[in-house]
A and B are shown apart, each in its own frame.
Chain A
Amino acid sequence: MSELSLLIKNVDLSFPRHRIGIGSLFRWLKRRMGQDARILPFEALKNVNLSISKGEVVGIIGRNGSGKSTLLRVMSGIYQPDRGIAMSSATVNLLSNVKIGFNGNLSGRENVHLYGSILGHSREKMTAMMDSIVSFAELEDFIDQPLKTYSSGMQARLGLSVASAVKPEILLIDEVLAVGDASFKERSRHRIKEMVDDASTVVIVSHNLNYLKKVCHRLVLMENGEIVQCGDPEETIKMYNELILR
């Protein structure tokens, strides 16, 4: 077996359930007096085990709320698991579908620098890569405009462009490929293929099964916070379809 890049071992993670509305002091008193049942936490990940080798492209599929995004966040260190361990061989870059910590009042260029420094890259490195980032995102005319003037597709393009330009060793992609027009999708596919050829590790969460079938070596199917199937893409997709129809 080749060298490991990501290892998730016996990971449990649960979220406290939020109580809606104000008046928590009253609720707290009630609970103290045994009048109000304690709300059980929501178990988002249950004993998840997954190992991913260097250069592997793994897709994660599953229904909404099955724990796909949470798993990616554990891999990237955003959530620390309640039990178990998450390990990686290099820094993990997560690219999420929601707008990244981009700041609307700053220009695209400033945001690239900001994002770069969050990812841990020096200013010089980002300046050197600026042209390629901008041209990949096709934002030459807008890069010095404030980010709030960008469309959501443009922002996502910029995000993917920065996150992939730095050639991360491990890239986690959470449903970003759905944004952007056809030509951008094609180029981001190409970019991911390049990264795979560079032996980087890629984990993709997506609902686009056809796309996953094309790029992934392995697919992971999640249901209720558990991995129910992990392996051959065709077979996993078949299981997923059965699961949905059930």
Chain B
Amino acid sequence: MKGDVGDDLRGLTIVNPVSKTITAFPEALSNFWKHKGLIRNFTSRDISQRYRNSIAGYFWTVLEPLLLSAVYYFLFTILRDTTDSRLPLWIILGVITWQYFSKGLNASVNSLTGNKNMIKQIYFPRELFAVSKVMAQLVVTTMSLVVAIPFMINLGIQPTWQLLFAPIALILVTLQVLGVGWLFAVSNVHHGDIAHLTRFVTRAGFFVSPVMWQVSLAIEKAGPKSYYLDYLYILNPMVVPLELMRCAFDGTSLVVPNWAIIWSVLFSILSVYIGLTVFKKTESKVVKRL
């Protein structure tokens, strides 16, 4: 009467099985490859609709960091009275990198709550929402970086092999944003506080991280007494990407200590591993709460 449930399971596979803790990460990674068309589609949709209905169109990718940097530049030259001619370039690179971090993180934290209608109607790996959002932001960031070229020409800076630092910095930020984003996205479904907290962190972090200032300046200003404070701010995993980005374009050598670089790389990789694993493990509970 209740539909005979025979035991003939030939040709049947489990619909969306719950992954095991150890295999969750590799499975999710292979899923990215399987759904690369979907990621591409989501990403291009995201980018194209962002600048739809605007006259300047894609020019906004350059215009936005340029305008922001102009404001910060004038503000800080008034406050700081600095003379370094490379400051505009530094600020603009810092602003672009930080915007990637802040927009990417906020987007991935909201990736589950913001797509609840779609999640409830069709199944596909939900971690892709964050991936496509971050990828769209990555494309926009890369486009923004074009703005560094006129500054470099103006300052007479020759591009060196250090330009390779730029993609490394972007990869580090991408991993951090995704990892922390996945972790926060599932907690954000339970407690809406997480999204507010993230917004605060990305705003306050702007000042705590070397966006408007440089690590070299901090070292110079710090003196021997604030030795421990030195370590403390370098624990911020965004310090290394921001510094890498700057060195990539102005050709100066990296001043952050080696252990900070190792820390940043380790943090990025670990956050992706933990974030994705937690995401896959808690997904089934979280979706029901949406």
A binds B: yes
Number of interface residues of A (CB under 8 A): 51
* CB pair A86 B15 closer than 8 Å: yes
Given contacts A80-B18, A86-B15, contact A110 B117 (CB under 8 A): no
B24 at the interface (CB under 8 A from A): no
| Chain A proximity mask over B26-40: 1 for CB below 8 Å, otherwise 0 | 000000000101100
* CB pair B11 A3 closer than 8 Å: yes
Residue in B closest to A58 when the chains form the complex, CB atoms: B3
Cross-chain contact of A78 among B2, B11, B119, B289 (Cβ < 8 A): B119
Tell me the dominant secondary structure on chain A's binding face.
Answer: mixed
Q: Which of A101-115 contact B (CB under 8 A)?
A: 101, 103, 105-106, 110, 113-114
Number of interface residues of B (CB under 8 A): 41
* CB pair A100 B41 closer than 8 Å: no
Most buried by A among B5, B15, B37, B117: B15
* CB pair A16 B11 closer than 8 Å: no
Instruction: Write out the residue numbers on chain B whose beta carbons fall within 8 Å of the beta carbon of A9.
Output: 5
**How many Å lie between the Cα of A4 and that of B118 in the bound state?**
28
* CB pair B121 A101 closer than 8 Å: yes
A76 at the interface (CB under 8 A from B): yes
* CB pair A50 B115 closer than 8 Å: no
Instruction: Write out the residue numbers on chain A whose beta carbons fall within 8 Å of the beta carbon of B225.
Output: none
Instruction: Write out the residue numbers on chain B whose beta carbons fall within 8 Å of the beta carbon of A220.
Output: 3
Instruction: Write out the residue numbers on chain B whose beta carbons fall within 8 Å of the beta carbon of A99.
Output: 117
* CB pair B41 A78 closer than 8 Å: no
Whole-angstrom distance from the CB of B156 to the nearest CB of chain A?
44
B8 at the interface (CB under 8 A from A): yes
| Chain B proximity mask over A113-135: 1 for CB below 8 Å, otherwise 0 | 11001111011000000000000
* CB pair B3 A4 closer than 8 Å: no
B124 at the interface (CB under 8 A from A): yes
**How many Å lie between the Cα of A243 and that of B120 in the bound state?**
29
* CB pair B1 A98 closer than 8 Å: no
* CB pair A50 B3 closer than 8 Å: yes
Cross-chain contact of B121 among A74, A96, A229 (Cβ < 8 A): A96
B10 at the interface (CB under 8 A from A): yes
Interface residues of B (CB under 8 A from A): 1-6, 8-18, 35, 37-38, 41-42, 45, 48-49, 52, 115, 117-124, 191, 283-284, 287-289
Interface residues of A (CB under 8 A from B): 1, 3-4, 7, 9, 13, 15-16, 18, 24, 49-52, 73-80, 85-89, 92, 94, 96, 98-101, 103, 105-106, 110, 113-114, 117-120, 122-123, 220, 227, 229-231
